[in-house]
Amino acid sequence: MRITTTDDDETWFTLADGADRSTVEATVRAALVAQRDRLDRVEIDIVSDDDWPVAVLDAVRAAEARLSALRSRGISLTLDPRRDADFGLALTLAPFSIGCSGYDDGGGGPVWSVNDTGTSATFRLTAAEASAVRRAVHGGGGDTERLIPVATYHLGRRDLSYDVVGGTAPSDERWRPPDGWRAHERTVRLGDGADLWEDASRAVLSWGVKTRSGFAVDPPPEPGQVVRAGERFWLVARLGPLRVREPVQVVEVVTTGRRAALAYGTLEGHPVSGEEAFIVSRSDDGTVSLTLRSLTRAGSGRWRALFPLVLLLQRRYRRRYLRALTLGAR
């Protein structure tokens, strides 16, 4: 699974591994509150993997009485989140149930799902809802960094697909590529001056070469935010009606008074295997240049047979990369 969206303002989120119990409970409840206005029903199993906490036993008894009154032999109770009493039950029990889901029956389908006493949770949030959830979790003392897009979660489970990590040597002026790789290096002059240096170095450290060449970055960086080594992204290329999603990891970031660079490597599932670096440098006379370096081998699986086509596309995009900051910086 890569990422699921229903429109430009909704994204599936989940909880990263290792979230502490207080963060889980705060996030599950905050997401339910944030989405309440668009939920038509919540279905919750009145069963827990562990003993119910003492603090929620009254709610458990109330839910079991509702099931008994319905003469239901099942374990699932349907609640109306527009009713305060029902919403209160869902809010109290959701972090501890073996399974519960919130539905938007107006076409959105399930938008909130919590299973296995909160250890598996996904929420389809708008940008405003995600912000509200983070505020609530922070206010409750939870770790807001644990709420991440599903895309990021699955990227974290992929390994780098090559072994010469750092092979593009973005901090070095002279490059000696490792043996056994298709190595490419090209430098173009962007211009001169302090303003150009600031603009170009900021752009190269925030995926500007990629985005100005037709790629989208998922998750998108915040305005003004620069990437950090170890971060993982999907780079999304549009080829006519198709979208190709490329999983990558930032392997090195360079920030000095004369050099700004981003190097990223391929993760499992990428169309090729290898590393690419975008390097902005400033010489003694103030000249600002962009250098592109790459190491490439065929990808695995279905991509291996498509390697000749991938190389053609790679050459096309390289031409765009070399123009990206020239056009964008002026």
Asked whether the predicted pLDDT for residue 16 surpasses 70, the reply is yes
State the first-to-last Cα distance of the chain, in angstroms, to the nearest integer: 40
Residues contacting 25, CB < 8 A, separation 6+: 95, 118
Give the residue, 72 or 223, on which the prediction is more confident. 223
Asked whether the predicted pLDDT for residue 109 surpasses 90, the reply is no
Q: How confident is residue 2, by pLDDT bands cut at 50, 70 and 90?
A: very low
Q: How confident is residue 107, by pLDDT bands cut at 50, 70 and 90?
A: low
Sign of CA dihedral 203, 204, 205, 208: positive
The pLDDT value recorded for residue 17 is: 82
Asked whether the predicted pLDDT for residue 266 surpasses 90, the reply is yes
**113-135 pLDDT tens trace:** 998 887 788 999 999 999 999 99
For residues 265 and 274, the answer to whether their CB atoms sit within 8 Å is yes
* Domains located in the chain, CATH noted: 10-155 (no CATH), 182-329 (3.30.530.20)
Average pLDDT over residues 230-241: 86
Average pLDDT over residues 83-94: 95
**Across the chain, what does the average pLDDT equal?**
89
Asked whether the predicted pLDDT for residue 4 surpasses 50, the reply is no
The pLDDT value recorded for residue 108 is: 66
Q: How confident is residue 245, by pLDDT bands cut at 50, 70 and 90?
A: confident
Q: Where are the alpha helices (DSSP H) in the chain?
A: 21-35, 57-69, 84-93, 127-139, 150-155, 194-204, 208-211, 302-305, 307-329
Number of other CB atoms surrounding residue 154 within 10 Å: 17
3-state SS, 193-242, equals CHHHHHHHHHHHCCCHHHHCCCCEEECCCCCCCCCCCCCEEEEEEEECCE
Q: How confident is residue 144, by pLDDT bands cut at 50, 70 and 90?
A: very high
Cα dist from 18 to 68, 117, 227, whole Å: 37, 14, 23
